[in-house]
Structure 1
Amino acid sequence: MDSRKGDTVIARDTYMNQIIPFIDTEVIKVLSGVRRSGKSMMLELIQDYLLKEGVLREQFIQINFEELKNEQYLDYHRLNTYLETEIEKKNLKTYIFLDEIQEVDSFEKVINSLRASYNDNVDIYLTGSNAKLLSGELATLLAGRYVQFEIYPFKFTEYLEGKKEIGIEKSNQEHFQSFMIEGGMPFPVLQNFSYQARVSYLTDVYSSIILKDIVERENIRDSDLLRRLLNFVLANVGRTFSANSVVRYLKNEGIKASVTTVVNYLGYAVDAYAIIPLKRFDIQGKRFLKSEEKYYVVDHGLRQAIIGRNEEDIELVLENIVLLELKARGYQVSVGKTNQYEVDFVAEKKVENGLDRKYIQVSYLLASSETREREFRSLKEIDDNFDKLVLTLDPFTSDSDGISHLNIIDWLIKE
């Protein structure tokens, strides 16, 4: 499978392999993720797959609700009339692709009506930039009749493919150094941008996430407070903090904010897929803890554009990269806690023969025996037989006590 930007072709098989089993079923396919993460590209990939399977292009209906020419269809009655007219006119199975569907108020009524009226004569794909897409009435109307796929910016292997396609040849290590700064937002990855041009693009993306997907959608009055709060989160990815500690920080900056406001604003940013919260999991007690969460950013390139310091904060950025890779691979991820130590990530997903769980520590380099002991000790306390990994940028690695020590770049490349 490949994804196009101009003539550039990028493989996104991680997602296509998840989506293909649901093609040509009555299940509504929902692709969600942060703005500009490549959801529209995924719709193109799905169409390419269908064309290769013998489906005719005239069987497609595609609407991007952010395009001005489609403004009339933001009214759900008009949208429904248009879609039903086109379906009847085609007199063939129809594949419907609705991009950024959250722009249409009450769109769920249209989707439910199409599903009920045409059953297996329609195959419906939606994209959206807000997690609330699958809450409320849509979830109620379509309970058990939809499947969600979260789409993230390019992971490292996709980044490598993109740079190869536009003719930038470097070693994997050199590409990884660039990836830590650039991030994985598809459009700038597929351009030979200068640093400043890339920062300008990503800053605009960040601003549009804040304005369109948070401020306008949630009717936020204090957009400056929201920006300052998100900048704090970006600066502190992977660090534990509470709403109370954020309120104290803002107060020191001369800004008044309540705990409730901070909690709400963080929730809005999570709903817009701008940041990713991780709960803390007690490994021995096998339960989630109610105490402080950690937050990560959906693309570390956005962090560099807004905050800078990715190279200086390399350990935090490496954690962020590993988390995004795990999410793209379909894992549910939490922060682990043993009796007295913390495990960076506990990653789980259901597989054919049961449960795939991994315990992962991320570090820059194991430069001393003390550092090595620190990174391995929390994993040594875990007494089950699931995979235990320490990921670093050390060129030479050494396993110990059943714990695998891997180079991060090698791990990212190995599917």
Structure 2
Amino acid sequence: MVLRPIYLATLTAYKDTHLIKVLTGIRRCGKSMLLESFQEDLQAKGVGKEQIIAINFEDMDFAPLCTAETLHAYISQRLLRDRMNYIFLDEVQNVADFQKAVDSLFLRKNVDLYITGSNAALLSGELATLLSGRYVEIHVLPLSFSEYLDFIKTDAATTSGASNLGRQFAEYLQFSSFPFTCELHRDAIRIREYLGGIFNTVILRDIVARKKIADVMMLEDVIRFMFDNIGNLFSTKKISDTISASGRKISTHTVESYLSALTDSFIVYRCSRFDVKGRQYLKTGGKYYLVDMGLRWYLLGNKGIDRGFILENIVYLELIRRGLAVYVGKAGDAEIDFAALKGDECSYYQVSLTVRDAATLERELLPLRQQRDHYPKYLVTLDDDPPASFDGIQRINVIDWLMSWAHYSSRW
């Protein structure tokens, strides 16, 4: 089993704290595998196997436990009174009224509780009310590029150089960042079939069934629009007008409902706008990014897209993977691709496929130069050129930047 050390370090940091550890993320991103790795780590450090109770609610063996009462009784009967008990509840949203069982277990001082879910609704409603201030969310994404190299058993330090890393990066973009795809050995047909399974499960189980959507074809029209407009600013009215123009009328209210369901399922992420001069969060506008570029390849094939937007998508995911709050930066009439916030600190990122053309370089630098503050500013490109500085703005290669975080011990 390949470890994901950054996430494991985060779990270790919260071990034995009186907080519920809530792991969220799209289906098949590696949450279950991460819990298994953590359980192995606990046992390697002296925790007895009898101290661990692990239940995966996608396993039919545990179907009788899918009510709050039966789940609570099952766990309570197995708790050790004189030792810490480590409880792992995987895909707990499949349990009716699970929040009641979770809340009751949390009251016990010798219970260290970990739960996972594949929908943002896990942390809304009654659970959020019951557990306010008593949980920490650890959001799990599919593999980063550095993790992808680990999973395909590639040591970046021993590759044949930048050209080999460039080829692997191209494969990472096309063949998906979901962990299991690494076991399919770049077999395009098998990977596409696997991605189709993920896509259909998320759409049918996490969106259609949960939201009781009757017109699945209309939902897929909205998804196709989203997948085809990565990194573009657009409104719900724009989506409504575009689909309606093709002969299928849809209201802006329905579009908003579908977008909410898509973000709740973690298949897309909304990047809101932030006024970097006025330090204000803006309610209107925003962009959407995909959790995995392979899903776009599955749905739209090799239909043309600006590769710069794909690169932008990868940078966005990496920034949130590093624990930053990420926004589209509004600077007067100019736009900065990303303003990344953490506490009182801010950093700016402009993303471009290449800036070897002088006019392109100046165009990309301009929004960053207009920011007169002293926060770090980066121009991220795919150009395989030495790092350079322009009036304090650092131009960096995206692969170098992605690899630079490979061995950090903690995200926080």
Structure 2 length normalisation: TM-score? Answer: 0.94
Residue number in structure 2 paired with 1:109: 100
Contact conserved, 1:270 with 1:276, CA < 8 A, in 2?
Answer: yes
Give the aligned partner of residue 37 of structure 2: 45
Deviations 1:13-44 (Å, cap 9, x if unpaired)?
22222222210122100000001000001101
Q: Is the 8 A contact 1:166 1:190 kept in 2?
A: no
Residue in 2 that maps onto 1:163? 152
Confirm or deny that 1:33 pairs with 2:25. Answer: yes
Identity among equivalent positions (%) equals 39
SS at 1:330 equivalent:
coil
The one-letter code of the counterpart of 2:355 is L
**Alignment-derived partner of residue 174 in structure 1:** 167
- The answer as to 2:9 corresponding to 1:20 is no
Following superposition, which runs of at least 4 residues in structure 1 exceed 6 angstroms of deviation?
166-170
Give the distance between the partners of 1:14 and 1:301, measured in 2 at CA.
23
Does the alignment pair 1:64 with 2:53? no
The residue number in structure 2 matching 1:125 is 114
Per-residue deviation, 1:166: 11
Contact 1:310–1:317 under 8 Å retained in 2: no
Tell me if the contact between 1:14 and 1:329 (Cα under 8 Å) persists in the aligned partners. no
Distance 2:159 2:65 in 1: 45
Task: Give the paired residue count.
Answer: 400
Specify the alignment match of 1:400 in structure 2: 390
Given that 1:166 and 1:191 are in contact with CA atoms closer than 8 Å, whether structure 2 keeps it comes out as no
**In structure 2, what is the Cα distance between the partners aligned to 1:298 and 1:258?**
26
Gaps of 5+ in 2: 406-412
Question: What is the match of residue 409 of structure 1?
Answer: 399
Query: 1:363 is matched with which residue: 347, 352, 364?
Result: 352
Cα distance between partner residues in 2 of 1:221 and 1:60? 42
Q: C-alpha distance in 2, partners of 1:166/1:264?
A: 44
Deviation for aligned residue 1:48: 2.1
- Alignment equivalent of 2:79, drawn from 58, 74, 87: 87
CA gap 1:213/1:169 in 2 versus in 1, 3 angstroms = farther
The 5-angstrom pairing of residues 6-405 of structure 1 reads 9=2, 11-87=3-79, 92-116=83-107, 118-119=108-109, 121-164=110-153, 171-309=164-302, 312-350=305-343, 355-396=344-385, 397-405=387-395
2:114 is aligned with what amino acid? Y
Structure 1 residue identity aligned to 2:84: K
Structure 1 159/36 Cα, relative in aligned 2: closer, same or farther at 3 Å? same
CA contact (8 A) 1:335 1:344 kept: yes
> Any conservation in 2 of the 1:163–1:169 contact (CA below 8 Å)?
no
Aligned-residue Cα RMSD (Å) equals 1.8
AA aligned opposite 2:388: S
Amino acid at match of 2:149: L
Return the offset for 1:191.
2.8
Flag structure 1 segments of 5+ consecutive residues without an equivalent. none
